[in-house]
Amino acid sequence: MLQQTQVSRVVGPWQTFLATFPSPSDCANAPLSTVVRLWSGLGYPRRAKALHAAATMIRDDFGGAVPAEVDELRRLPGVGEYTAHAIASFSFARPVAVLDTNVGRILSRALANRTLTLSEARPMAKEVMGRANSARFNQLMLDLGAQFCRAVPRCEQCPVASACKWKREGGTDPAPRSAAVSRAQTAYVGSDRQLRGQMLTQLGHGARTKQQLFSALAGFDQSRYDDIVDGLVADGLVQRRGRIVQLAGD
């Protein structure tokens, strides 16, 4: 849920999700449509399908227990390098460094004062962590990046400003696109992402015909209907039954 979504938006849905699915097996045993409904409002619904698939793999291949090692976590659908390292560190105290946009900014500014490639940032993140408690250190780095070493940095309040190489040496801000761990998102309003989300919200209330969806979605560009539905079908999130569209698993 935290992939590309702010914590403030995640807390409520996360609590509801855990109350509904106390274990990975509970999630795996539920139909995908139930998971998608609980995901409503978080965006990027393909993550919901990936989470359901990951829960199924955890149930079937790992005896219902979330794996602790990075290489095993990477096998799970929807789990990339950042998520695998975060779970291994925060949940299982494995000595691995978490590298995200926040941490990439700190490394490029405070340590290197230059734009870093991903292959350069990975070992640097591990080296700077040293033998520290990984969960505590990684949380410190994430918070430092989120609160002070932001896209528009708050250098005057930053607790490590005196040790920052960029602050001492100056020059062009090296942080933008450093470590290549995130991509800029296109505008949301009017995008296919917005229309997909609106359509899934409507389908969360039950199966709909094309005309019912047109009536429910004010301002919906009807010429894009087939492409949006085709994309949702291809992603395995919805299914067609004649003229009816519904959530997969309903």
pLDDT digits (tens, 9 = 90+) for 3-44: 878 888 899 999 999 999 999 999 999 999 999 999 988 888
Tokens (6 digits) for 19: 């109350």
pLDDT at 163: 95
| pLDDT class of 189 with cuts at 50, 70, 90 | confident
Q: What backbone torsions phi and psi does residue 78 show, to the nearest 5 degrees?
A: 80, 0
Q: What whole-number distance in Å separates Cα of residue 50 and Cα of residue 194?
A: 20
Residue 105: burial class (beta carbons within 10 Å; 0-12, 13-18, 19+): buried
Q: What is residue 184's predicted lDDT score, i.e. its pLDDT?
A: 61
101-180 classified as CATH 1.10.1670.10? yes
Q: Tell me, what's the pLDDT at 177?
A: 82
* Digit-coded pLDDT (tens) for 59-94: 999 999 999 999 999 999 999 999 999 999 999 999
Class (C level, CATH) for 192-247 = mainly alpha
User: What percent of the chain has pLDDT above 90?
Assistant: 74
Please name the CATH architecture into which domain 7-92 falls.
Answer: Orthogonal Bundle (1.10)
- For 39-55, what is the mean pLDDT? 93
Cα 87 from Cα 96, distance rounded (Å): 10
Reported as a single tens digit per residue, the pLDDT across 106-147 is: 999 999 999 999 999 999 999 999 998 999 999 999 999 999
- Which helix (H) or strand (E) is 198 found in, with range? helix 192-203
228 and 192 Cβ atoms separated by less than 8 Å: yes
Confidence of residue 178 (pLDDT cuts 50, 70, 90): confident
Containing H/E element for 238? strand 238-241
Per-residue model confidence (pLDDT) at position 222: 81
Residue pointed to by tokens 């096998």: 75
- Could you state, in order of their start, the residue ranges of all structural domains in the chain? 7-92, 101-180, 192-247
Per residue in 142-162, pLDDT tens? Answer: 999 999 999 999 999 999 999
